[in-house]
Amino acid sequence: MRNGSRNDYRTLDVYTTAWLILQGFTPRLINEDSKIVFSFPASKKLFEEMSRFNNGATVEVARFVLTVKNLKAQVFSQKR
Q: pLDDT tens, 8-60?
A: 999 999 999 999 999 999 999 999 888 999 999 999 999 999 999 999 999 99
pTM for the structure as a whole: 0.87
According to DSSP, the residues that pair with 16 across neighbouring strands are none
For residue 26, which of 59, 74, 62, 76 has the smallest C-alpha distance?
Answer: 74
The full set of domain ranges for the chain reads: 8-79
The pLDDT, as a whole number, for residue 79 is 75
By the 8 A CB rule, do 38 and 12 touch? yes
The pLDDT, as a whole number, for residue 78 is 83
By the 8 A CB rule, do 50 and 20 touch? yes
The pLDDT, as a whole number, for residue 1 is 47
- In the structure, what pLDDT confidence band is assigned to residue 2 with cuts at 50, 70 and 90? very low
| Percentages (nearest 5) of helix, strand, coil residues in the chain | 50, 20, 30
Q: Report the half-sphere exposure of 38 (CA within 13 A, side-chain side).
A: 19
